[in-house]
Structure 1
C-alpha cells in the first residue's frame, strides 16, 4: 500500500474582529491538532485596515505565538493564496489563514490512489449554512 508523507490539505480563512483571534479560536485549532484530526502546516494573519489596506504577518514574525501549534511547512501559503483568501476580509477586521493537513483523510487518499481512484471534485458547505437550512426545512 502507498504511504503518503502528507494527507490532503485545505486552506481556510477564519475571520474575526480586531487584529488577532480570540483564545477560543486558537483552542479549537489546538484541540483538532491534539486529537490527530488535523496538522497545521502554515498560519498567517491578515488584517484589513478601515481604509482597505491589507497587512500580512507570518506567525514566525510574531513575538508571542499565543499557544499556536508548531508549523510543519511555514511559508506554504504563498502571497497569491493569502490575497485570494483575504478578499473576503472586510475593512476593519482580520483573518487567520490556516493551511491544514487532513490527517483523518491520509489513509483514505492512499487507498484511493492504490485503487486507481482520485477525488475529482469537492465542495464545502459551512456549518452555519447547513444548520440554517436544516432548521428552516425541519418537519
Structure 2
C-alpha cells in the first residue's frame, strides 16, 4: 500500500468572527485593525460582511467589495481570497437578534500561522478535532481570579502591580 501525500493546503484554518456593535456600520478603527493583522501576515481577511438593522426592521448587508470608501484604507485586504464564503445563512443567523440601529460584522479570518501545522497534521494522518476560542475578557478574568487565589510567594502569584486585565 502506497501512502498518499496530501497536497499543500491553499488556505489555513479559517475562523468566523461575529462582532456586534451599536450603529449600522462598522467602526473604521476595527477595519484598520483587521488590515494591520493582514499586513503583518498573522491572519488573512478572507471575507467580510457588515450587516445593519434599519429603523424599519430591514437589513443593510454590505460586502467588503461594496465598501468603496474602505478599499483604500484596507489596501490589499480588499482583494478577498474567498468572497462569498460567508453565506446568507450565516448573515441571517448573525442578524437574527439585532434591534434597529444595531449592527454586526462577520469576518472570516485565515489563521496563516496554523497553515504549516495543519499540513503537518494531515501528513501524519492527524487532524484537529476541535478548536475553542475563549474571548480575551473571559481569559483575563479567569487569570486574574487564579492569580488572586494563589498563595503569596507561589510561582502562580501575580507580581506586584501586574493586572492581567490590562493585557486584554
Corresponding pairs, count: 139
Of 33-42 and 85-94, the range deviating more from structure 2: 85-94
SS in 1 for 2:35: helix
State the structure with bigger RCO (CA 8 A, min sep 6), 1 or 2.
1
Match of 1:22 in 2: 27
1:54, distance to aligned residue in structure 2 (A): 3.0
Q: Where in structure 1 are there 5+ consecutive unaligned residues?
A: none
TM-score w.r.t. structure 2 length? 0.73
Q: 1:36 aligns with which of 41, 45, 50?
A: 41
**CA RMSD, aligned part only?**
2.0
> In the superposition, relative to structure 1, how do residues 72 and 65 fare at CA in structure 2: closer, same or farther (>3 Å)?
same
1:58, distance to aligned residue in structure 2 (A): 1.4
Q: More strand per residue: 1 or 2?
A: 1
Are 2:124 and 1:95 equivalent residues in the alignment? no
Q: More helix per residue: 1 or 2?
A: 2
Partners in 2 of 1:98 and 1:18 — Cα distance?
17
Q: Where in structure 2 are there 5+ consecutive unaligned residues?
A: 149-168
